[in-house]
Chain A
Amino acid sequence: MNIGDVLFGVMGFVALASALLVAASNNLVRSLFMFFVTLFAIAGLYVFALADFVAVTQIVIYVGGVLVLMLFAFMLSGKETLNNLKQSNSRFISLGKVPAVLVALLFLIVLANAILKVQPDSLPWIKASAQSNNIIKPTDNMVNNIGINLMTRYLLPFEVVSVLLMMTLIGAAHLARKEEHKL
């Protein structure tokens, strides 16, 4: 058990525990800031999967973009929303939440069972790629390869996602515009 495994365990524990705190807290601002911690921990997990470029993208887009957007939308929407949120004095497990807890637990049991039964490290294609030396090593520099693949093999999805991003941003700006007369 070396220090990498310990760090991985700590990172996974922080991700799961802060996600549970996000789910448990009724205060929206506290929930948003715990989500911040969750996103950072997940970025750390990406580093352990040797995907450092995805980890940096996660921090830039999620933490820098999405979370700030959520905070802005929340802060700009006025004090009434804040008061509105504090009224909901519901505990973590109340009667109305039993179905949600049940569904989540059943999903967890099914997924964990499937993962433990399949034994993903002994899947045929993973063994084949391990034998043909197709595994990313910690010393490899993958950023060049990702850039080349994005511009050759995945060019069509790249262009489609860029057009879709522009469309959604224009649509969001149109939707969020203040209008005098309501539709």
Chain B
Amino acid sequence: MITLSNFLLIGAGLFCIGIYMVLSKRNAIQVLIGIELIINSAILNLVAFGRYDKVNNAGQSFALFAIVLAAAAVAVALAIILNVYRQYKTINPAEVESLKG
């Protein structure tokens, strides 16, 4: 029997891996992947709880919204990363020291 806590535990694991990537990676694209893992764990929780809402579909609808928002965030973040690379010749977040190139 697949219970709700199975989904929540897998989501917690993905969330913590995402936190680790955001905090420790030295490459802006890998930081972005960490953020995507965090968003995915949140969507997993939404979908798991959404099973108990047959009439309104709140969980699944907001999971769809969250997927779209994540896609938009990735597009903007990749454009910013390309610009940062053009200015600094590196995408290590630790080496980008000033806001105005």
User: Interface residues, chain A, CB within 8 Å of chain B?
Assistant: 4-5, 8, 12, 15-16, 19-20, 22-23, 28, 31-32, 35, 38-39, 42, 45-46, 48-51, 53-54, 57-58, 61-62, 65-66, 69-70, 73-74, 77, 80-81, 84-85, 88, 90, 96-97, 99-101, 103-105, 107-108, 111-112, 115-116, 119-121, 125-126, 129-130, 134-136, 140, 142, 145-146, 149-150, 153-154, 157-158, 161, 164-165, 168-169, 171-173, 175-176, 182-183
- CB contacts (< 8 Å) of B68 on chain A: these are 61, 161, 165
Binding site secondary structure of chain A: helix
If A5-B1, A58-B67, A157-B65 touch, whether A175 touches B76 (CB-CB below 8 Å) is: yes
Distance between Cα atoms of A5 and B92 in the complex (Å)? 42
Q: Which of B30, B55, B67, B76 contacts A62 (CB 8 A)?
A: B67
Does residue B96 face the partner (Cβ distance < 8 Å to A)? no
Known: A61-B68, A146-B61. A15 touches B10 (CB 8 A): yes
Answer whether A51 and B29 are a contact pair too, CB < 8 Å, given A16-B13, A161-B69: no
| A50 CA to B62 CA, complexed, in Å | 15
Question: Beyond A49-B50, A112-B9: 20 further Cβ-contacts under 8 Å?
Answer: A5-B2, A22-B21, A23-B20, A23-B21, A42-B14, A42-B44, A45-B44, A51-B59, A51-B63, A54-B47, A97-B24, A100-B20, A115-B5, A121-B4, A129-B53, A145-B54, A149-B57, A157-B65, A172-B75, A175-B79
Contact A61 B67 (CB under 8 A): yes
